[in-house]
Amino acid sequence: MTTRISLDDLDHRIIDRLGHDARVSNREIGREFDLTEGTIRSRLKRLLDNKVIRVAAVTNANRLRNPILAYLWIEADSAADIERVAASLAELPEIGFVATTLGRADVLAMTLVENGNELTDFLHQTVDKIPGIRRVRYSLGQNFIKHDYRWCSLVD
């Protein structure tokens, strides 16, 4: 686990400013906040180096014709397999979220698919081959009412 740094008001303002458009230059943010470009640059470097934020492109899910978010609720063969199963799933590029969980399943993984066939193929050809998986149940998210994509976990 990375050590947590404390964030002050300026850090939060920079994060919020970059939350809706991160292509803005340090100089422009500096002008808006009445601070120097160097102050913004060093603050931003600290936020990035300490993995508080990550700046990256997000593309519209509608690049797919009819995007479905599949929640895969995975049961492992044994308790000892859980972490290994999660690590294997995290390596798959198709999967955007993986966590070990308490409650509904041993592992939750999420993937975006275009239709049922694509999901079936993915489950049979890729997920089923991962050793240690006993059973996969799934629910299909058909319609996003809210999805704040500005949250993430900066692991590794």
Partner 1 sequence: MRTESKGERRTRGKAQGAGREDGLYRTDEVDEQIIAALRKNGRVANRDLARDMGVNEATVRTRLRRLEDANMLRVVAMRDLAAMGFEYLAPVGVQVKGRSVADVGADIAKIERVITVNVAIGTHDLEVQVVAESLDEMQHLLTSVIAKIEGVERLFPSLALRVFKYNPEWAPL
In the complex, the residues that contact partner 1 under the rule CB under 8 A are: 2, 4-5, 7, 15, 18-23, 44, 50-63, 65, 67, 69, 71, 83, 86-87, 89-90, 95-105, 108, 112, 138-155
Sequence letter at residue 76 = A
Which CB, 129 or 146, lies closer to partner 1? 146
Are 129 and 115 a contacting pair, CB within 8 Å?
no
Which CB, 27 or 31, lies closer to partner 1? 27
CA distances from 96 to 36, 67, 92, 111, 153 (A): 37, 14, 9, 6, 11
Considering the complex, what minimum distance in angstroms separates the CB of residue 43 from partner 1?
12
Are 153 and 90 a contacting pair, CB within 8 Å?
no
Which CB, 10 or 99, lies closer to partner 1? 99
